[in-house]
Amino acid sequence: MLRPLCVGLTALAAALGVARPAAAGVVAVPEAAGVQYTTVAGVVTETFDATPQMQYTALATAAGGLSAAAPGLGVIPGDLYGGSLQTPYMGVGISNAPAATLTLPGPMSYIGMYLPALDATDAVRFLSGGSVVATFTLADIAPLLTPAYYGNPNIGGNTGEPYVYLNFYGTAGTTFDQVVFDNGGSGGGMEVDSISLLAPTAVPAPAGLVLLGSGGLALLGRRLRRRTA
Ligand SMILES: [Ca+2]
Ligand SMILES: [Ca+2]
Ligand nearest to the CA of 190: 2
pLDDT score, position 213: 55
Ligand 2: distance of its center to the CA of 79 in Å?
A: 12
Ligand 1: distance of its center to the CA of 121 in Å?
A: 23
Ligand 2: distance of its center to the CA of 31 in Å?
A: 19
Q: Comparing C-alpha atoms, which of 222, 216, 219, 127 is closest to residue 177?
A: 127
Mean local confidence (pLDDT), 145-161: 98
Ligand 1: distance of its center to the CA of 12 in Å?
A: 43
Alpha helices in the chain (DSSP H): 2-15, 138-141, 214-228
Lowest model confidence (mean pLDDT) among 77-86, 186-195, 215-224: 215-224
pLDDT score, position 187: 77
Return d(Cα 159, Cα 152) in angstroms, integer.
7
Q: Give the amino acid at 89.
A: Y
Answer yes or no: are the C-beta atoms of 131 and 219 closer than 8 Å.
Answer: no
Mean local confidence (pLDDT), 13-28: 54
Ligand 1: distance of its center to the CA of 86 in Å?
A: 7
Whole-model pTM: value is: 0.79
Percent pLDDT > 70 in the chain is 76
Mean local confidence (pLDDT), 114-126: 96
Q: Comparing C-alpha atoms, which of 39, 85, 91, 41 is closest to residue 66?
A: 91
Ligand 1: distance of its center to the CA of 82 in Å?
A: 9
pLDDT score, position 38: 98
Ligand 1: distance of its center to the CA of 71 in Å?
A: 21
Q: Is a pLDDT exceeding 90 seen at residue 61?
A: yes
Residues by chain with Cβ below 5 Å of ion ligand 2? 117, 119, 188
Q: What is the DSSP letter of 35?
A: -
pLDDT score, position 207: 53
* Side-chain-side CA neighbours of residue 121 (13 Å): 13
Ligand nearest to the CA of 183: 2
By DSSP bridging, strand 44-46 and strand 55-56 are unpaired
Q: Is a pLDDT exceeding 90 seen at residue 161?
A: yes
Ligand nearest to the CA of 116: 2
Residues 6+ apart with CB under 8 A from 191: 76, 81, 82, 83, 89, 90, 91, 115, 116, 117
Q: Is a pLDDT exceeding 80 seen at residue 166?
A: yes
Ligand 2: distance of its center to the CA of 92 in Å?
A: 9
Ligand nearest to the CA of 76: 1
Q: For the segment 190-220, what is each residue's pLDDT rounded down to a tens digit?
A: 999 999 999 544 455 555 545 555 544 444 4
Buried b (16+ CB within 10 A) or exposed e, 80-92: bbbbbebbbbbbb
